[in-house]
Amino acid sequence: MENKLDARYYELLRRLQEADFVLIELTLYLDTHPDDLQAIEQFNQTAVVRRQIACEYENDYGPLLQYGHSFSRYPWDWKNTPWPWQV
């Protein structure tokens, strides 16, 4: 299956980057404010949203992560380029 670099492809990558940014910032905040329940809830909600976006991406365009963090379809998906970090 060849990747089609359509608008949805870039939209999903953008949404993943946004979710990752929020998760990194909340991680840094929670390292110094471990008792902030609202921040923990926001972190967990964002983690769920990120997982959903990643699932959508992988279903349509192939794996995001290697070493068992993402499944591959048949035939092996990793030969299909560009990979997410190349765009």
| Report field, pTM of the whole predicted structure over 0.85 | no
Q: Which residue, 83, 77, 78, 20, is CA-closest to 53? A: 20
| Location of structure tokens 């299909």 | 80
More confident residue, 12 or 77: 12
More confident residue, 64 or 86: 64
The predicted pLDDT at position 65 comes to: 75
Domain boundaries in the chain?
A: 7-80
Q: For residues 7 and 3, what is the distance between their CA atoms, to the nearest angstrom?
A: 12
* Per-residue pLDDT tens digits for 21-71: 999 999 999 999 999 999 999 999 999 999 999 999 999 888 887 766 566
Bond from prior residue into 84 cis (ω within 30 degrees of 0): no
The predicted pLDDT at position 30 comes to: 94
